[in-house]
Structure 1
Amino acid sequence: MILLKLPPLTSVAQARAMLETAMNVEFGTLPPYLYAQLTILPNSNLPAMARLQSITHQEMIHLCLAANILNALGGSPRLNPPVYPGPLPGDIGHDGKVLTLHILPFGKPAMQQGMNIEMPVEPIVFPQLKMLEAATVKAVTIGQFYEALDAYLKTLPATAWQAGRNQIEDKQFFPGQLFAVNNYADAHKAIQVIVSEGEGTRDDPLDFSKELSHYYRFEEIFRNQVLTSSDSKQGFSWGGPLGVDWGKVYPAIADPQLHDFSKEPAAAREAQAACTIAYSAMVDSLNLALNGNAAQLGIAVRKMFDLRMAAIHALQTPLADKHKVAGPAFIYKKI
């Protein structure tokens, strides 16, 4: 569960700071989600792969929408790549406990981590099998974080918004999904998209486009069951198997940022270096795109493809322990 301590909003400057935190939270989920996705063996676990791909795709959109709101309020978005294992950006935790994220290969722990990140305040319990225990503490989720932000933005005068400032309206890579934020109505729509796609609504696992929200997609994979519509009180029930094979995964190490690659064969070191170059280039292009150079978004998407290809090569390159490989460590270095 993402738990964010909410400061009282009294100024546009504070709203900008919250938006930058939110933007970096969206970005911070990408490496853990991508690692789980990339470590699935080719031509296997296709339903799980499709769900993970849709989640990472939407996280990119959420990142851009949050940046659009920030730009409309006169801010200057800045991505700050986090360290793993470690917390997502911002004050994340409850009663002094922080959610520490790890880079994990595809498996139940990685799916549980995804559920922890996307968990609503009150996850819906569907009939059929024994459910996971839900947190009983009162918490502030990412949805409530955005709700508080939205409530403040609603109070701003029209003059607070700068229409057309550094907006990303991409029609090539995210057609119909990215839109400009020029006023409060646009910002409210963007927030609704981000929240509904992440955790759904309080009483419905579906997002605004009538697809399962991220939390329940992760839970489908974790349980290896499809969540289907039914005549139950909740409107959905756990149905047949999704077809997950936990054995169809590269033997990738967890938390590669903690690994000492200096002791690995040259081929493994070179594979990691290629991953670092591609990841760093992607971050740099995204920062340029979010600050007015819209053409850089296409370059960032291509760099993400470069990262995928570098990751595939790394995952096929043995470490000194021939039974282990390492996916990208997601280390940022200024190019």
Structure 2
Amino acid sequence: MKLTSSEWTLDHLKVHLQAAVDLEFWTIPFYMSAMYSIQDRNSEAYQLIRTVVNQEMLHLQCAANIANSFGLSPTFDPPVYEGTTIPHLDFSKDDPEAIKPYLPYTAEIGPLDLEHINAMCLVEIPDYDTGAPVELHSDVDEYGSIGAFYEALRFGASCLKDEIRGGVRQVDYFSAFYRNMPDMKITESREAGFNQIDLLIDLITDQGEGYAKKDPTVPATFQNTADDTEPEDDHFEKFNQIKNAISKPLTFAIKPVSDYSDEDRELAQIQLESFDALRGALQLLFSGENPENFFPLMAGVGAAIRNCWEHGVTPAFSHSHLVGSDSNDVSYGK
């Protein structure tokens, strides 16, 4: 159901804000798993995905900061990786010709291959400008792209700007990497606070979260000034570079779950526990706490994912997936 501007309520906006956090959080294990499955860490594909993963962490911070400015302390439930379902996105609403080059795809955790890089491109696919007004939906799963989703969220935030309170549980771990970017926190309230929210949404969409631009170059304000080898390229461009490369990086061989040894199952359990610890730290971080072990936990998750792949074990990010059916026997989306 489409909404008029007068129908946006604070509760409805909070549902969209939690959905934004869910979607940004979903991308991080999915992209990290593809990245760490690559044998050569010096390969171009590995380095390109690494820069995107870092920016997805930034986008998660932005989404959580916006949520807190509206009085929502976001939650970090285990992401679900099943079939072809990507949270809050419905690609059937997009132009079929734009989607066609990225089929088939899968939303299951797995190594970097055609189906996974297709999914990564679809997550970041531009919301091409048709001249039509933004569709404002009551259902957060009615958006065809992240760009359309964030434009609706931006509009909802503008309708409720009087509810914005600056300085509420704000986090900034990335300013040292973005010297041209103003404050990444929401420090002001009401109209001035909305201007800061508007800038953070621009940061997310211009870096590659599905927004079509006449000039695809990431504006200098939003470019990584520290450790990105291609800071001017957005996520969609970086993933297409990998997809269209003549040679694809070698990935680790994977085993069916039925062939796991006790050691393999233990590696999967360690990896899942490290991810659970990271989720807990994120919950504390955006609830106003200051977990001192946040960065070591993030590094630990990466090391555990890598260790799984090196032993042929597919990483798991929920207990149901850890003990579930063989993820290598799923049917990928067509």
After superposition, residues 134-153 of structure 1 pair within 5 angstroms as 140-153=144-157
* Inter-partner Cα distance in structure 2 for 1:90 and 1:311: 26
**Corresponding position of 1:222:** 243
**Corresponding position of 2:184:** 179
How far apart are residue 139 of structure 1 and its match? 6.7
Q: Is 1:78 aligned with 2:82?
A: no
**Corresponding position of 2:326:** none
After superposition, residues 19-58 of structure 1 pair within 5 angstroms as 19-45=17-43, 47-58=44-55
Deviating 4+ runs (over 4 angstroms): 5-9, 171-178
How far apart are residue 69 of structure 1 and its match? 0.7
Conserved 8 A contact 2:16-2:153: yes
Percent identical residues: 23
Structure number with the higher strand fraction is 1
After superposition, residues 82-161 of structure 1 pair within 5 angstroms as 82-86=79-83, 87-90=85-88, 92=90, 94=92, 101-122=107-128, 140-158=144-162, 160-161=163-164
Conserved 8 A contact 1:121-1:139: no
Conserved 8 A contact 1:281-1:300: no
How far apart are residue 61 of structure 1 and its match? 0.7
* Inter-partner Cα distance in structure 2 for 1:157 and 1:314: 46
* Inter-partner Cα distance in structure 2 for 1:6 and 1:93: 18
Conserved 8 A contact 2:143-2:149: no
* Inter-partner Cα distance in structure 2 for 1:161 and 1:308: 35
Conserved 8 A contact 1:201-1:207: no
One-letter identity of the residue aligned with 1:149: L
TM-score by length of 2: 0.74
Q: Is 1:331 aligned with 2:322?
A: no
The 1:171/1:148 distance shift into structure 2, 3 A limit, reads closer
Q: Is 1:292 aligned with 2:288?
A: yes
Structure number with the higher helix fraction is 2
* Inter-partner Cα distance in structure 2 for 1:106 and 1:157: 41
**Corresponding position of 1:252:** 254
The 1:186/1:50 distance shift into structure 2, 3 A limit, reads same
Conserved 8 A contact 2:31-2:53: yes
Q: Mean alpha-carbon deviation: is it higher for 299-308 or for 179-188?
A: 299-308
Conserved 8 A contact 1:282-1:301: no
Conserved 8 A contact 1:252-1:315: yes
Q: Is 1:303 aligned with 2:297?
A: yes
TM-score by length of 1: 0.74
Q: Is 1:188 aligned with 2:188?
A: no
Conserved 8 A contact 2:41-2:47: no
**Corresponding position of 1:168:** 171
* Inter-partner Cα distance in structure 1 for 2:89 and 2:174: 34
* Inter-partner Cα distance in structure 2 for 1:36 and 1:70: 29
How far apart are residue 188 of structure 1 and its match? 0.2
Deviation sequence 1:119-171 (CA, Å, 0-9, x none): 11339xxxxxxxxxxxxxx973211211122123223344x111111011226
* Inter-partner Cα distance in structure 1 for 2:113 and 2:41: 16
Deviation sequence 1:257-289 (CA, Å, 0-9, x none): xx646x621110111111011111011111111
One-letter identity of the residue aligned with 1:109: E
Q: What SS does the corresponding residue of 1:15 show, helix, strand or coil?
A: helix
* Inter-partner Cα distance in structure 2 for 1:307 and 1:157: 37
Q: What SS does the corresponding residue of 1:154 show, helix, strand or coil?
A: helix
Deviation sequence 1:54-101 (CA, Å, 0-9, x none): 111111111110111110011121112222225233364546x9x861
Q: Let me know the Cα RMSD of the aligned residues.
A: 2.9
Q: Mean alpha-carbon deviation: is it higher for 165-174 or for 145-154?
A: 165-174
